[in-house]
Structure 1
Amino acid sequence: MDEVMAVVVCFAGNYAPRGWALCNGQILAISTNQALFSLLGTTYGGDGRSTFALPDLRGRTAVSTGQSPFRNYALGQKLGTESVTLDISHIPAHRHDGDITVQLPANSGPGIDPTVNGGFPGDFTGAYATTANSTMQAPDYKNVTMTTVGSAIPVITRAPYLVINHIICLQGIFPTRN
């Protein structure tokens, strides 16, 4: 074969060609795959004495090793999840501002206690209406109660995707280091 051993490629077929295997975490015997084991070791699994594993890319996206702005990625490391359930601790501190206008009917005569018999406020200290059938300002209340909504249903976090097989070269040119 002209391919380099341990190379992983996308393959649109529904099987692995001769000399290749699907990247499905298959366990292989070291005794019959010594060259490939010398490249992969137990990075993807196996006991390292008699077995080792191929990479398992089922339902996963391949990411290169190295440092990103968020974390360090090590060879063989499995990270991430397809969904997450958000709760209040995931939401940054914030506020919801709004204006509320309240108009109360008022009388121009002496005021009555609005809490008694459904009366209307009238012309009294603190009231802002002086004519009949007008409105007055309500006291400036700033506390508004807001309820949280939601149902704690997991949110899908994966990007759009196309399912395609990944295969690894089992037999081929042994790669040399520079």
Structure 2
Amino acid sequence: MAEPFIGEIRITPYTFSPRDFAYCDGQLVPISQNSTLYAVIGTTYGGNGTTSMGLPNLKGRAPMHSGQAPGLSYRPIGYPGGVNQVALDQTQLPAHTHEVTGINKAGDSHSGAGNYLAIDTNINVRVRNLNAAPTGLQDMSSATLQVAGASAAHENRQPFLVMPFCIALMGLFPSRN
């Protein structure tokens, strides 16, 4: 493996961070032990700038280039964005309908034949004509159309393969030109 630049971030396939690398897990490290790395990244990823500095936190995140793409807002280096879960409201759902399923006297709701919107058990009248003026209105069963979902958040992550990001603590000092 080629000697890294200090502050270079690599994806590794190991269950450990290689020698002279540290996990990009957002930990605070002392500046006194990492002065060269501090000269490169400063407090971009956290820390107080006098005794501690933060390493990038790429746990559960996807890396993204800094700058501004057409139609998007500016994203500086070190800017964390996005959320892991999202609760949708009605304005975010696509237009759709819910079916009302009839049932026949024998309880077979799978075939279209013999199914009715309602059965009046008092006089055994089956209501088929939905264009007729209603008479003797009665509330439908609450089981007819039920609320879907529980207003709970759902996962909002793309498919992934877990591999740790590590940052070089030692190596070549990156030249600015």
1:25 is paired with a residue of what secondary structure?
Answer: coil
Give the structure 2 partner of residue 87 of structure 1: 89
1:162 Cα deviation after fit: 0.5
C-alpha deviations, 1:56-104, integer Å up to 9, x for none? 1111111110113332211111111111001123347x686xxxxxxxx
Unaligned runs of 5+ in 2: 98-122, 124-128, 134-144
1:28-177, aligned counterparts within 5 Å?
28-68=29-69, 69-91=71-93, 138=132, 149-177=148-176
Task: Please tell me the root mean square deviation across aligned C-alpha atoms, in Å.
Answer: 3.0
1:67 is paired with a residue of what secondary structure?
Answer: coil
The structure showing larger relative contact order (alpha-carbon pairs under 8 Å, at least 6 residues apart) is 2
Give the structure 2 partner of residue 130 of structure 1: none
Give the structure 1 partner of residue 117 of structure 2: none
Unaligned runs of 5+ in 1: 97-117, 119-134, 140-145
Give the structure 2 partner of residue 17 of structure 1: 18
The count of aligned residue pairs is 139
1:147 Cα deviation after fit: 8.2
Give the structure 1 partner of residue 9 of structure 2: 8
1:27 Cα deviation after fit: 1.3
1:9 Cα deviation after fit: 0.4
1:31 Cα deviation after fit: 1.5
1:138 Cα deviation after fit: 4.8
1:35 Cα deviation after fit: 1.2
TM-score (norm 2): 0.67
**Of the two, which has the highest radius of gyration?**
1
Aligned amino acid, residue 33 of structure 1: N
1:61–1:85: structure 2 CA closer, same or farther, 3 Å change rule? same
Aligned amino acid, residue 154 of structure 2: V
Aligned amino acid, residue 38 of structure 2: F
TM-score (norm 1): 0.67
Q: Distance between the aligned counterparts of 1:77 and 1:95, measured in 2?
A: 37
Question: Which 4+ stretches in 1 moved above 3 angstroms?
Answer: 146-150
Percent of aligned positions with the same letter in both sequences? 32
